Structure 1
Amino acid sequence: MKETMTAILIYMKKHAPDEITIEEISAHFGYSKYHFSREFKKLTGFSAADYLSSIKIEQAKQDFLKKQHSITDSSFDAGFSSLGTFSTTFTKKTGLSPREYKNQVESLYHLTKNYDDTTSTSYYAEEIQKGDTYQLSVTIHYPKSYQASITFVGLFNSSIPNHKPVVGTALQKKIQHTFTHIPKGKYYLLACSIEKTLNPLRYFVLDDCLRGKVDYPLLFPKDSAKEIDIYLREPLPEDPPILINLPKLLTDTLKLRNP
């Protein structure tokens, strides 16, 4: 299945709006649903169902932000059978309801643009647990002539960034950061970069932003104090969508830091 994974991911992206099921996808590639689901999770780090729902959310988000479609029409066009299911899934993966997300684009964009360009800030998915914590140093490498606005880097519980990171940072004018207070566990190191732009939607629809990752999970404390290099690249067709609302994550952190 490893040899066909790229084809499977591309197929899922193409047919997600058709309300295709995991059982139908597995059958198309000649696998049982159980074997397909187990191997998919083992090879990608996220479940097939999570990937499929994330693709649908990304398409709906693009429709109602870029194309100005209604939220209802966008949800059905993306393959959701009900508006309620779409709203619940959207809120879970982005932290805002679809309507809140749409209404807050301008305000969150301006707050993000006003972010202090001489520093970085750390943000967490939850309070740092008591007990032993660990650290990790990361260096970001950009393509030649690329002008980054903000680069987000974080440690995630799965390799699909549709949830808050365990720990992360937003970098401007910096290429290196050392994470501290990393709890014991297994995490995926992911990064994406937004190029300098006057278009607010570029901060919210991240399908064409540069991205980078470590291709294996990091284990703490085993990988504590490592120095990791991430090389940013153009997105690939099989890359999972980036659903986390990065401007909201950044501005929420700034509010906590400067109440």
Structure 2
Amino acid sequence: MGSEGCAVAGIEKAVERSIEEMKRRLSESLSIDDMARVAMYSKFHFSREFHRITGISPRRFLSALRIQEAKRLLLTTSMTVTEISCTVGYSSVGTFSSRFASSVGLSPSVYRRVGGFVRRVDAAKKGETGGAVCGSVGAPVASYPGLIFLGLFPTRIPEGKPVSCAVLTCPGPFELRDVPVGTWYLLGHSVPAVAHEALTDSSQAVHVGSVGPLEIAPRAARVPVDFRLRGASPLDPPVLLALQRVRSAAFEEGLVPAVR
């Protein structure tokens, strides 16, 4: 590895250290200075490199980790919503519940009641339609990614309602139609069908991918993209929206055979 490659690897390791520190201190008021100190960079350099590597700011990543942990606690413990909100760093349960609902698509109590799964992921209300995003999904050689969720989101975090989405049973061609005018990120994650409903939250996706930003202009026709899935990394922002019960939906629609 050359000097440039070593420098890149060093920066990624520094960002990964800061993310591990975030995970250890979710209940605390963690500042950019604290994160930069762990990474051993100035806060300005740290913030710039963190955004370059992860696609979002350190504060936004920390907020996503808090919601991710709240999802896990709701499904695996008997803690109250108030207790969970304090555990993940919120002083106000109202603020926590509002933030959770906007990110996951369900309130904390409903998310717990449905076991972390929704029957379907509804797209957000569309504005002026610009066109379609199409292309092909590729996956690592000799791997079976399982059912693949694709969605268009306004940021690099898959949260809230996508403006358009689809579920694929295997890598291959896709098309997302009636995409609104604007700037979007195409994000995807996958979970093997045989294990899908045994998972406790969507952070356990085994493959992820992202393309963007994609500019959708008025009266655009088709925007072609090459979408590649890869193994999930600690540097990837968490998947926050509630995991769709895609395995059951696929069985009902006859897309995949039932596993006996």
TM-score tier after normalising by the smaller chain length: 0.7 to 0.9
Cα offset, 1:85, TM superposition: 2.1
Distance 1:140 1:66, change over 3 A: farther
Q: 1:8 aligns with which of 14, 18, 27?
A: 18
> Structure 1 CA distance, aligned partners of 2:101 and 2:61?
16
What TM-score do the two structures reach when normalised by structure 2? 0.73
The structure-2 alpha-carbon separation of the partners of 1:198 and 1:161, relative to structure 1 and needing over 3 Å to count, comes to: closer
What is the aligned counterpart of 2:42 among 7, 14, 31? 31
Partner of 1:175: 172
Q: TM-score, normalised by structure 1?
A: 0.74
Q: Does 1:188 align with 2:198?
A: no
Match of 2:208 among 212, 216, 233: 212
**Aligned AA for 1:214?**
S
Give the equivalent residue in structure 2 for 1:19: 29
- Please give the residue correspondences for 1:1-259 in structure 2 after superposition, counting only pairs within 5 Å: 3=11, 4-28=14-38, 29-32=40-43, 37=47, 40-41=50-51, 43-105=53-115, 108=117, 111=119, 124-130=123-129, 132-141=130-139, 144=142, 146=144, 148=146, 150-173=147-170, 175-197=172-194, 200=197, 202=199, 205-214=201-210, 216-220=212-216, 224-233=222-231, 235-247=232-244
User: Match of 1:115?
Assistant: none
**Number of residue pairs the alignment of both structures matches:** 235
Range that drifts further, 42-51 or 89-98: 42-51
Task: Give the Cα separation in 1 of the matches to 2:74 and 2:228.
Answer: 32
Give the alignment's Cα RMSD to 1 decimal.
3.4
Percent of aligned pairs with the same amino acid: 26
Q: List per-residue Cα deviations over 1:194-242 (Å, max 9, x = no partner).
A: 222477452x602221232236533335995324131232x22222111
Structure 1: gaps spanning 5 or more residues: 113-121, 252-259
- Evaluate the alpha carbon distance shift between residue 174 and residue 43 of structure 1 in structure 2; reply closer, same or farther with a 3 A threshold: closer
In 2, the alpha carbon distance for the partners of 1:142 and 1:69 equals 39
Which consecutive unaligned segments of at least 5 residues does structure 2 have? 1-6, 249-260
Task: Tell me the equivalent position of 1:254.
Answer: none
